[in-house]
Structure 1
Amino acid sequence: MRLPRIALVLVTLVVIVAAAPKGVAIAPAYAVNPDEVLSNPKLEARARKISEGLRCLVCQNESIDNSNADLAKDLRLLVRKRLEAGDTDQEVVDYLVSRYGEFVLLKPRFDWDNLALWATPVVVLLGGGILAFLVMRRRKARRSPDALSAAEEAAIERIIAERG
């Protein structure tokens, strides 16, 4: 049942790639407008790097660099304004976190405030591994032993002799 689905997906991908015009590359589409771009290329590169790590508060799973939302544009402009004012990259990020909370970061910081966020996957994996180990051990203990006792061997010999 799965094989036809996989084949269909592969055929679809081949058709899409074959139908694409020559020289067309699949790349992320940035939402940065030309009027937002800084004249200093080094500052613009810093702004892009910062923007890639900031979450659009409207779209929530897109960076502000990729979002067309008005709030994302405002945040991009704010990042550039802070960089032009002389802030370091960390100062810009800290300013946005103080204003919007840690939710504005696409990758949350590793600290005590969000330890549960980082520790939960590890705890779940370890707990699952321990549970699987205990279940397998219990199943193994329930199985009959491989070797027969002397009484069992005598009973089998008696049954064979009676039928034999």
Structure 2
Amino acid sequence: MADIGIGAEAPDFNLPRDGGGRVSLTEFKGKPLVLFFYPKDDTAGCTAESIGFTELAAEFEKAGAALVGMSPDSVKCHDRFIKKHNLAVALASDEERTVLQAYGVWKQKSMYGRTYMGVERTTFLIRADGTIATIWQKVKVPGHAEAVLKAVLDLAA
């Protein structure tokens, strides 16, 4: 798996999503997509990030951009997460981790001297033509949704 960069074609996906049904990259052709990868539903950072995007969801929509979050959690887990925090973003479930690997966000991490595989919090802004415009790696949550919105608005300008 090679890391993908700015200007590259975004890897396609078609995954189960919250509320039933599926979500795929192709359904967003013709509009920008903010695809944010996060480690785990209902943890402090992931909750804050998802709420941040939810609070700006109307602004993203006004700018013509769609929002999709993705983690290895199950659809059932996503449904509980959305209901508990009243989230307004689509959440895709990649339990097989194939899309996480395609985007290069499934990485070796370490905490308290222990190494393990997990999702590195990363956001991709994908242009209407399906190419990657911007990548935020090792995202720090405070101010992140606002920075992504600014990039979406700059893309439209």
| TM-score category (smaller protein) | under 0.3
**Larger helix fraction of residues:** 1
**Larger strand fraction of residues:** 2
TM-score for both structures, normalised by structure 1: 0.20
Larger radius of gyration: 1
TM-score for both structures, normalised by structure 2: 0.21
